[in-house]
Structure 1
Amino acid sequence: MIEIERKFLITSEAFKKEASSKTLFIQAYLNTHPERTIRIRIQADKAFMTIKGKSSESGVSRYEWEKELPVDEAKELLKLCEPGKIEKYRYLVTVGQHTFEVDEFLGDNQGLRIAEVELHSEQEYFLKPDWLGEEVTGQNQYYNSQLTLNPYKNWKK
Structure 2
Amino acid sequence: MIEIERKYLITSSKFKEEAVKHYAIKQGFLNSDPLRTVRVRLVNDKGIITVKGLSSDDGLARFEWEKEISAVEAESLIQLCEEGIIDKVRYEVKVGSHIIEVDEFFGDNEGLIIAEIELNSVDDKFEKPIWLGKEVTGDIKYYNSQLSKNPYKAWKL
| TM-score, L = length of structure 2 | 0.99
| Identity across the alignment (%) | 57
Tell me the distance in 1 between the aligned counterparts of 2:73 and 2:126. Answer: 38
Give the equivalent residue in structure 1 for 2:21. 21
Tell me whether 1:59 sits opposite 2:56 in the alignment.
no
Q: Secondary structure at the match of 1:33?
A: coil
Tell me whether 1:10 sits opposite 2:10 in the alignment.
yes
Counterpart amino acid of 2:4? I
Give the equivalent residue in structure 2 for 1:88. 88
Number of residue pairs matched? 157
Counterpart amino acid of 2:134? E
Q: CA deviation at 1:67?
A: 0.5
Give the equivalent residue in structure 2 for 1:50. 50
Tell me the distance in 1 between the aligned counterparts of 2:77 and 2:104. Answer: 24
Q: Secondary structure at the match of 1:123?
A: coil
Tell me whether 1:150 sits opposite 2:137 in the alignment.
no
Tell me the distance in 1 between the aligned counterparts of 2:117 and 2:33. Answer: 24
Tell me the distance in 2 between the aligned counterparts of 1:15 and 1:34. Answer: 30
| TM-score, L = length of structure 1 | 0.99
User: Displaced runs of 4+ in structure 1, greater than 6 A?
Assistant: none
Q: CA deviation at 1:45?
A: 1.1
Counterpart amino acid of 1:83? E
Note the 1:94-113 alignment, pairs <5 A: 94-113=94-113
Give the equivalent residue in structure 1 for 2:41. 41
Give the equivalent residue in structure 2 for 1:31. 31
Q: Secondary structure at the match of 2:130?
A: coil
